């Protein structure tokens, strides 16, 4: 009976960083706190290997991929694992174990939010 699990609600990092953050960069100056939050996401995509991993997951069918499908990016397996963890901590990916394999999935709302940050009012 001690065998039930805590629901995977989302780690606090991801949950906090995602939802309400930030008007377009062109609308008004970001506050220090907003910048801190938002920079975390940009930083996560600021490494070539991580960006490729993210793109591999995002472009995979269903927006989700097994680690085994995407680990051919020229670095060792521990490094891949490390980068996927970083992407997860930044709230850009979520992961789920299904049997032997672990699947990573993009968080579409975050993608959209980051897009909004950059797109709207390309000039003001």
Partner DNA sequence: TGTCTATGTTGACGGTTGTCGATACAGATG
Partner DNA sequence: CATCTGTATCGACAACCGTCAACATAGACA
The tokens describing 7, both together, are 């629901």
Write a three-state SS string for 81-105.
HHHHHHHHHCCCEEEEEECCEEEEE
Q: Which does 11 bind (CB under 5 to 8 A by kind): DNA, a copy of itself, none?
A: none
Is 52 a binding residue for DNA by CB under 7 A? The answer is no
| Site residue total, DNA (CB under 7 A) | 27
Smallest distance, Å, CB 104 to DNA?
A: 8
Site track for DNA across 60-99, x = CB under 7 A:
------xxx--x---xxxxxxxxxxxx--------x-x-x
Smallest distance, Å, CB 42 to a copy of itself?
A: 4
CA 28 to chain centre: 25
> What is the spatial distance between Cα 44 and Cα 27, in angstroms, rounded to a whole number?
23
Is 102 a binding residue for DNA by CB under 7 A? The answer is yes
Closest CA to 27 of 114, 112, 115, 122: 122
List residues near DNA by CB under 7 A: 43, 46-47, 49-50, 66-68, 71, 75-86, 95, 97, 99-102
């Amino acid at each position: 009976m001690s065998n039930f699990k805590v629901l995977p609600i989302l780690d606090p990092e991801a949950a906090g960083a995602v939802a309400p953050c930030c008007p377009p960069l062109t609308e008004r100056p970001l506050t220090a706190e907003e910048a801190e939050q938002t920079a975390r996401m940009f930083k996560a995509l600021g490494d070539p290997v991580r960006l490729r991993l993210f793109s591999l997951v995002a472009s995979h069918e269903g927006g989700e991929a097994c680690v085994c499908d995407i680990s051919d990016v020229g670095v060792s397996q521990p490094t891949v694992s490390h980068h996927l963890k970083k992407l997860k901590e930044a709230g850009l990916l979520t992961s789920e174990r299904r049997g032997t394999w672990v699947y990573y999935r993009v968080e579409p709302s975050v993608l959209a939010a980051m897009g909004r940050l950059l797109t709207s009012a390309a000039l003001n």
